[in-house]
């Protein structure tokens, strides 16, 4: 920047100056482009951002990128003769230039209220008129203009106050007179100028000015002047004016707690269960909880209060804070398990204290036991602020703590706006709901009486109440503005941004800079992170704490902005270029300190314009960490944010991996994921990344949107076949072979899928890798599709329970397998036990939704009990429970479950429309649905149709009902019904031989039972014309 000497002057008509010489005659668009690049403070500006800045949507040229290049070329041509540098980067441009606005802010901001006169005079001297006065209006230009004018007004008033203190009244009058015309309600300006007028012997003019300001305040705002204004006016009237520096405003109104007595009494009253405190942002939930803690402490009762962060840097961060609070309170740290010890240690350290082997579910169970024991033993109230941001792991722990005998908990949540989907907040665990309403007029009167300088009128109260909407945070900010003499008309909205900016002006330059750095770190920030940047950060931030902007915990070396809106306001006031640079700096500082990617991913994504490749890589690493913790919502949000951060500059591998993580999250959350997973597989294929393509293909073929009935998903089949032909690692090959089960389960390829799944089981056993074995066995339900596989399914279920005894996903899968076996074997007691386990675990599984499986199990169970009305009710829920699956799969599962009910009711013909729909959507070579049609026709008394279907199936020797077909015993039974009905002895002979090995079982459709096989054998036997061996087999089947 120093080498080229390029300067963009904004404080007046826009001009480009190179080495002290103004470049004349440039087109407005060239100047506008130079301005947009200059305000980025030397950082690259993306092309799409520049296009948005140059043209309104309705005026945008057909090819904006080409038009932008023309303007860039003109600007470069204007600068080139002077040796100025305009750099083109990938998808962005960068101009090395200084601005008079930056110099102005440096001069007035270096010392805050203590800025010397000469610095302020030099700053005011930079002013050449209305900033950017000749440029057309645009939101970003208006924002630059407003910021400059606002800073100039503040600097001019401060300089005038200093000039008065130096007995230079005439200069102060000359400075302020032009400003007084458009700022008639600014109390601070009126005080400074009236003091200067009085000093120059113009006392009557001073009093007229003050009277005019009072009128402007009352008529325009409905406000009376503040106490400083009233005392200053009295001093002029009595001749006792004190021309010293005006005394600082009173302390922040946010420090005062008003009302809420009923809610406070309710919250501190001893009671069991969970109380949910709900209200809009800024309504006072956090302040009320602080009062609860203080009241409990005054009565000798213990409490632990933590706040859930909106962007956690680690999985289960709130849980770690909660356990840390117990330890700080004297809890037994020695009794922590290794997993919990590491979780707590990572609150302040960059890595766990010691290696530990644990699962997520064991960690949750241990946390429930540890926290519950401490809370019940010491009668501790657990208080979770901002619970709408709870991560799912911590929420699951709180669910466990809410279960009998239960712990006393208070959780605050927003009643509107974004929130994490946490079942606990909407479950029966919440025993009390306390809605925090907006302040009424009486509450406003109480607050105003304690905090507003000077008297107030009813009109003032009503105005404040209306402008704040009864929101305590905004009400306090408005009162603070009034106390500081800041005009609060329609051009200065009651927003955190404006109010915070005014509050910052009373602080030193170093304090403001540290607040900006802290805001970039987040609503919760580390003092340790600030120390290398500013060694005196803690001392500087104490002023901000006194101003009510932050709360500091020196022992923990942590700080927190008093409200999210305050944090957002300060963050938005940081210039864009500075914001990018500091995000990049803090992100790399955290990475160098050994923190996990989740701790610095926010910074990497925010600085994507500087380093888009790093943003993508860090996004992948952080999303992977959330995926390992089954935090799918956070994984999805991060992966989508990383994809959006710079797709044009992103290498193929991280883009493919991020697409995979998006698709994986969507599938595990029960949403359509096929497009994202297909894109991930395509990108990995194009990049030649075999391992990543294998991973994407496994997800693509998993039970979900690509599981079809009667057909095979073409792209899933293509990727699976192609990847299996490559030289894979044994682990990748086993996973891919196992995924063939769900992909081919109900298609003409089902025998091939079963054979591949059996290969996967053998390979996993050979590799002796428990994790791989677990992954393979989790596909047992659709992988083991033959009636001969029943004992293997049973063995796999028992093995799953051994491999991961505390994992609810694994326990659910084992219970589902065993429940189906118990139904087939007519063991109603065992079926009831396994169904109870399914019910208990369905809401706790994280790997993927299980509502459909639970619904199908309910159908099968109630059919077995003979409770057909309840079974039918559950069958009708199948389409809704399986909304994330393909239409053909839902048609199949709904039809199979309803068919089981209708068969038991004697109403089987009613399902014929479903059967015809399945036949119509399947290839002619897949004839399993034809077998069902034959049985339904027989039940309907339609001999012709039943015989036609039997003859069609006989052509290939009833291949569709070979032992390799998933629901074969149900198909065999349906065909047996048709053979008996038509008297087809040839078909009866074939069917009898195939059914006889399973004569002691119920027929099974894959989701439910379909009557005893023994009944079909007895009906077939008279048609055989030959002796038969006893039915039943040592090899049980479906």
- Residue 435 sits at φ, ψ, to 5 deg, of -90, 125
Backbone angles phi, psi at 882, to 5 degrees: -105, 30
Task: Output the pLDDT for position 89.
Answer: 76
Name the β-bridge partners of 468.
none
User: What number of H helices and E strands is found in the chain?
Assistant: 49, 17
3-state secondary structure at position 41:
coil
pLDDT of residue 618: 93
Given a cut of 90, whether residue 286 has pLDDT beyond it is no
- Torsion sign, CA atoms 862, 865, 867, 868: positive
Residues 733 and 296: their CA atoms lie apart, in Å, by 60
Strongest mean pLDDT among 61-65, 285-289, 914-918: 285-289
1005 pLDDT more than 90: no
Q: What is the DSSP letter of 61?
A: -
Report the 10 Å Cβ neighbour count for 944: 9
The 10s digit of each residue's pLDDT in 810-845 is: 999 999 999 999 999 999 999 999 999 999 998 888
- Comparing C-alpha atoms, which of 388, 689, 691, 662 is closest to residue 678? 662
For residue 744, the surrounding DSSP H or E stretch is: helix 730-744
Q: What is the pTM of this model?
A: 0.56
Q: Is the pLDDT of residue 495 over 50?
A: no
State how far Cα 476 lies from the chain centre.
Answer: 30
Distance, in Å, from the CA atom of 698 to the CA atom of 720, rounded to the nearest integer, reads: 8
3-state helix, strand, coil in the chain (%, to 5): 60, 5, 30
Phi, psi values for residue 830, rounded to 5°: -65, -40
Q: Residue 551: beta bridge partners?
A: 560
What is the rounded distance in angstroms from the CA atom of residue 229 to the CA atom of residue 210? Answer: 8
pLDDT at 381: 93
Cα 528 from Cα 530, distance rounded (Å):
5
Judge contact between 925 and 905, C-beta under 8 A: no
Average pLDDT, the chain: 80
Residue 967's pLDDT is what?
Answer: 45
Whole-Å CA distances, 112 to 256, 504, 517, 709: 26, 9, 17, 71
Q: What's the fold here for domain 123-243?
A: 1.25.40
Highest mean pLDDT among 47-51, 164-168, 975-979: 975-979
Q: Domain 820-1023 adopts which CATH fold?
A: 1.25.40
Residue closest to 252 by CA, chosen among 112, 451, 453: 451
* Residues 39 and 33 sit within 8 Å (Cβ to Cβ): no
| Residues 163-180, mean pLDDT to the nearest whole number | 87
Ordered by start, the domain boundaries in the chain are 6-100, 123-243, 259-435, 503-574, 583-785, 820-1023
Judged by average pLDDT, the poorest of 250-264, 291-305, 395-409 is 250-264
Is 604 a residue whose pLDDT tops 70?
yes
Long-range contacts of 766-775 (CB under 8 A, 24+ apart): 767/730, 767/731, 767/734, 769/731, 770/803, 772/731, 772/734, 772/735, 773/799, 773/803, 774/800, 774/803, 774/804, 774/810, 775/735, 775/738
Given a cut of 50, whether residue 519 has pLDDT beyond it is: yes
Considering only residues 635 and 260, tell me which one the structure prediction assigns the higher pLDDT: 635
Burial class, 406, CB count within 10 angstroms (exposed 0-12 / middle 13-18 / buried 19+) = middle
Which H/E stretch holds residue 558?
strand 558-561
**Per-residue pLDDT band at 480 (split at 50, 70, 90):** low
- The per-residue DSSP string of 471-537 comes to -HHHHHHHHHHHHTT---STTS-S-HHHHHHHHHTTS-HHHHHHHHHHHHH-SEEEHHHHTTT-TTH
- As a CATH number, domain 6-100 is 1.10.10.10
Query: Which has more confidence, 674 or 1018?
Result: 1018
Residue 471: the pLDDT is 65
Spell out the residues 6+ positions from residue 611 whose beta carbon is closer than 8 angstroms to its own. Answer: 584, 604
Q: Give me the DSSP letters along 630-696.
A: T-HHHHHHHHHHHHHH-GGG--HHHHHHHHHHHHHHHHHTTS--HHHHHHHHHHHHHHT-HHHHHHH
Query: What's the average model confidence in pLDDT over 396-412?
Result: 87
Domain 259-435 in CATH 3.40.50.720? The answer is no
Q: Indicate the SS3 state at residue 750.
A: helix
The whole-number average pLDDT for the span 267-294 is 82
pLDDT at 605 over 70: yes
pLDDT for 494 equals 35
Q: At what angle do helices 597-606 and 632-645 cross, to 10 degrees?
A: 30
Using the predicted structure, report yes or no on whether residue 347 has a pLDDT greater than 80.
no
The closest of 799, 801, 968, 769 to 791, measured between CA atoms, is 799
Architecture of domain 503-574: Orthogonal Bundle (1.10)
Measured CA angle at 637 (ends 632, 643), to 5 deg: 120
Averaged pLDDT for residues 505-521 = 85
pLDDT of 773 higher than 90: yes
**Does residue 352 surpass a pLDDT of 50?**
no
Within 780-827, residue ranges assigned H as helices are: 780-783, 790-803, 808-824
The single residue listed with the structure tokens 């800024």 is 282
- What's the pLDDT score for residue 243? 43
Per residue in 927-976, pLDDT (tens digit) is: 777 888 888 999 989 999 889 888 888 776 666 555 444 346 888 888 88
Distance CA 554, CA 557 (A): 5
Decide: 34 and 95 in contact? Cβ < 8 Å: yes
| Residue 241 token pair | 């004016």
Confidence label for 263 from pLDDT (cuts 50, 70 and 90): confident
Residues 171, 246, 567, CA angle at the centre, nearest 5°? Answer: 110
Cβ neighbors of 932 (< 8 A, separation 6 or more) are: 899, 915, 918, 971, 974
Written as six digits, the tokens of 214 are 């009072």
- The model's confidence at residue 178, banded by pLDDT at 50, 70 and 90, is confident
Closest residue by Cα to residue 400 from 380, 418, 373, 436:
373
Tell me how far apart the alpha carbons of residues 502 and 560 are, in angstroms, rounded to a whole number: 20
Structure confidence at residue 1034 (pLDDT): 35
- Looking at residues 490-516, what average pLDDT do you find? 64
Taking 60 as the threshold, does the pLDDT of residue 895 lie above it?
Answer: yes
138: helix, strand or coil:
coil
- Distance, in Å, from the CA atom of 500 to the CA atom of 449, rounded to the nearest integer, reads 23
Least confident range of 83-87, 201-205, 771-775, 882-886: 83-87
Percent of the chain's residues with pLDDT above 70: 82
Q: Tell me which residue of 605, 417, 30, 488 sits closest to 223, measured CA to CA.
A: 488
CA distance 425 to 419: 11
d(CA 600, CA 622): 9
Quick one: average pLDDT of 915-931? 72
Q: Which residue matches tokens 């946390």?
A: 367
Q: Most confidently modeled of 72-81, 134-143, 739-748, 767-776?
A: 767-776
Q: Check: CB of residue 811 under 8 Å from CB of residue 989.
A: no
Q: Evaluate whether 6-100 and 820-1023 have a shared fold.
A: no
Is residue 863 scored above 80 in pLDDT? yes
Q: Say how far apart CA 456 and CA 777 lie, in whole Å.
A: 74
Domain 583-785 fold is: 1.25.40
Number of Cβ atoms within 10 Å of the Cβ of 613 = 14
* Distances in whole angstroms, Cα of residue 767 to Cα of each of 654, 684, 760, 793, 1022: 30, 26, 11, 20, 52
Q: pLDDT value at position 387? A: 86
b/e for 795-805, b at 16 or more Cβ within 10 A? ebbebbeebbe
Separation between Cα atoms, residue 804 and residue 845, nearest integer Å: 13
Greatest mean pLDDT among 62-71, 159-168, 752-761: 752-761
Which segment of 142-146, 452-456, 508-512, 745-749 scores lowest on mean pLDDT? 452-456
Distance (Å, whole) CA 619 – CA 646: 11
CA 985 to chain centre: 64
**CB neighbour burial string for 528-563, b if at least 16 within 10 angstroms, e if fewer:** ebbeeebeebbebbebbeebbbbebeeeeebbbbbb
pLDDT band of residue 924 (cuts 50, 70, 90) is low
Neighbour-count burial of 955, counting CB atoms closer than 10 A to its CB (0-12 exposed, 13-18 middle, 19+ buried): exposed
The HSE-up count of residue 233 (CA atoms within 13 Å, CB side) is 18
Q: Give me the pLDDT at residue 97, please.
A: 76
Question: Residue 416 — pLDDT band, cuts 50, 70, 90?
Answer: low
Distance CA 428, CA 447 (A): 37
* pLDDT greater than 80 at residue 443: no
Region of 776 please: left (phi>0), alpha (psi -120 to 50) or beta. alpha
The candidate with the shortest Cα–Cα distance to 228, out of 255, 243, 198, 248, is 248
What's the mean pLDDT in 258-275?
Answer: 80
Joined together, the tokens standing for residue 942 give 């339609």
pLDDT digits (tens, 9 = 90+) for 634-665: 899 899 989 888 766 688 889 999 999 999 88
263/260 Cα distance (integer angstroms): 5
**pLDDT tier for residue 873 given thresholds of 50, 70 and 90:** very high
Token pair, residue 853, equals 């499986």
């Amino acid at each position: 920047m120093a080498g080229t000497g390029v300067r963009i002057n904004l404080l007046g008509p826009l001009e480009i100056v190179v080495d002290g010489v103004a470049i004349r005659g440039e087109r407005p668009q060239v100047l506008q482009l130079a301005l947009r690049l200059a305000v980025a403070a030397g950082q690259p500006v993306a092309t799409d951002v520049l296009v948005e800045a140059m043209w309104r949507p309705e005026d945008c040229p057909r090819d904006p990128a080409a038009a932008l290049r023309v303007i860039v070329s003109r600007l470069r041509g204007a600068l080139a003769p002077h040796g100025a540098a305009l750099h083109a980067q990938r998808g962005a441009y960068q101009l090395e230039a200084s601005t008079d606005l930056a110099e102005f802010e440096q001069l007035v901001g270096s010392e805050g209220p203590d800025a010397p006169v000469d610095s302020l005079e030099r700053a005011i001297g930079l002013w050449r008129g209305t900033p950017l006065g000749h440029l057309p209006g645009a939101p970003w230009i208006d924002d630059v203009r407003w910021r400059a004018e606002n800073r100039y007004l503040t600097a001019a008033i401060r300089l005038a106050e200093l000039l008065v203190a130096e007995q230079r009244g005439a200069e102060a009058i000359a400075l302020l007179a032009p400003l007084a015309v458009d700022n008639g309600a600014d109390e601070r300006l009126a005080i400074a100028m009236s003091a200067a007028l009085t000093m120059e012997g113009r006392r009557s003019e001073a009093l007229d000015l003050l009277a005019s300001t009072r009128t402007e305040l009352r008529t325009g705002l409905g406000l009376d002047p503040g106490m400083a204004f009233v005392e200053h006016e009295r001093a002029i009237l009595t001749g006792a004016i004190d021309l010293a520096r005006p005394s600082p405003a009173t302390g922040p109104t946010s420090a005062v707690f008003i009302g809420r007595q009923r809610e406070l009494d309710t919250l501190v009253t001893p009671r069991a269960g969970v109380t949910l405190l709900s209200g809009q942002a800024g309504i006072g939930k956090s302040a009320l909880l602080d009062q609860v803690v203080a009241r409990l402490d005054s009565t000798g009762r213990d409490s632990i209060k933590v706040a859930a962060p909106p962007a956690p840097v680690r999985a289960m961060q709130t849980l770690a804070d909660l356990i840390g609070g117990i330890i700080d309170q004297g809890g037994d740290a020695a009794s922590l398990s290794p997993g919990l010890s590491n979780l707590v240690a990572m609150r302040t350290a960059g890595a766990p204290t010691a290696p530990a082997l644990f699962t997520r579910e064991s960690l949750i169970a241990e946390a429930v036991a540890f926290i519950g024991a401490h809370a019940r033993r010491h009668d501790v109230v657990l208080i979770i602020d901002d619970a709408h941001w709870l991560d799912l792991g911590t929420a699951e722990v709180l669910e466990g703590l809410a279960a009998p005998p239960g712990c006393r908990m208070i959780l605050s949540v927003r009643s509107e706006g974004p929130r994490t989907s946490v079942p606990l907040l909407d479950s029966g665990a919440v025993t009390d709901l306390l809605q925090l309403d907006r302040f009424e007029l009486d509450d406003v009167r109480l607050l105003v009486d304690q905090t507003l300088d000077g008297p107030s009128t009813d009109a003032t109260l009503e105005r404040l109440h209306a402008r704040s909407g009864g929101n305590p945070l905004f009400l306090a900010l408005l009162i603070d503005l009034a106390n500081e003499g800041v005009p609060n008309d329609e051009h200065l909205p009651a927003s955190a941004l404006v109010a915070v900016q005014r509050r910052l002006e009373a602080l030193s330059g170093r304090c403001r800079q540290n607040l900006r750095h802290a805001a970039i770190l987040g609503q919760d920030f580390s003092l340790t992170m600030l120390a290398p940047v500013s060694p005196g950060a803690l001392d500087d931030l104490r002023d901000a704490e006194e101003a009510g902007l932050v709360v500091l915990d020196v022992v923990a070396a942590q700080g927190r902005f008093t409200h999210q809106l305050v944090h957002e306001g300060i963050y938005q006031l940081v210039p864009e270029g500075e914001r990018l640079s500091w995000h990049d700096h803090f992100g790399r500082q955290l990475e160098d300190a050994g923190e996990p990617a989740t701790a610095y991913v926010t910074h990497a994504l925010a600085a994507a314009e500087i380093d888009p490749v790093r943003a993508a890589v860090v996004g992948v690493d952080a999303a992977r960490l959330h995926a390992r913790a089954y935090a799918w919502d956070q994984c999805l949000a991060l992966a989508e944010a990383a994809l959006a951060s710079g797709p044009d500059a992103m290498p193929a591998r991280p883009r493919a991996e991020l697409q995979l993580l998006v698709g994986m999250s969507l599938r595990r959350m029960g949403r359509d994921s096929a497009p994202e997973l297909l894109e991930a597989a395509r990108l990995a294929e194009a990049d030649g990344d075999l391992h990543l393509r294998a991973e994407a293909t496994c997800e693509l073929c998993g039970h979900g949107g690509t599981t079809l009935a009667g057909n095979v998903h073409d792209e899933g089949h293509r990727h699976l076949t192609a990847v299996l032909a490559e030289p894979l690692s044994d682990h990748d090959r086993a996973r891919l072979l196992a995924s063939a089960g769900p992909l081919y389960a109900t298609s003409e390829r089902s025998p091939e899928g079963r054979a591949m799944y059996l290969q996967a089981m053998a390979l996993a056993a050979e590799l002796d890798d428990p994790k791989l074995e677990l992954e393979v066995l989790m596909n047992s339900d659709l992988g083991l599709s033959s009636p001969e596989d029943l004992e293997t399914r049973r063995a796999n279920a028992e093995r799953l329970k051994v491999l991961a005894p505390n994992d609810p996903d694994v326990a659910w899968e084992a219970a589902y397998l065993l429940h189906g076996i118990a139904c087939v074997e007519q063991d109603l007691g065992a079926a009831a036990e396994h169904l109870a386990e399914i019910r208990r675990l369905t809401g706790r599984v994280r790997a993927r939704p299980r509502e459909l499986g639970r619904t199908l199990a309910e159908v099968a169970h109630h059919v077995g009990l003979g409770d057909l009305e309840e079974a039918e009710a559950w069958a009708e829920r199948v389409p809704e429970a399986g909304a994330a699956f393909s239409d053909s799969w839902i048609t199949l599962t709904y039809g199979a479950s309803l068919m089981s009910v209708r068969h038991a009711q004697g109403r089987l013909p009613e399902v014929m429309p479903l059967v015809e729909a399945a036949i119509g959507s399947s290839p002619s070579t897949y004839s399993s649905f034809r077998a069902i049609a034959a049985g339904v026709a027989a039940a309907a008394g339609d001999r012709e149709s039943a015989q036609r279907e039997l003859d069609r199936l006989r052509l290939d020797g009833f291949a569709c009902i070979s032992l390799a077909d998933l629901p074969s015993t149900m198909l065999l039974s349906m065909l047996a019904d048709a053979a008996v009905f038509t008297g087809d002895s040839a078909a009866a002979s074939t069917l009898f031989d195939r059914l006889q090995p399973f004569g002691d079982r119920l027929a099974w459709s894959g989701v439910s039972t379909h009557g005893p096989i023994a009944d079909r054998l007895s009906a077939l036997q008279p048609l055989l014309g030959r002796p038969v061996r006893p039915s039943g087999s040592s090899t049980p089947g479906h």
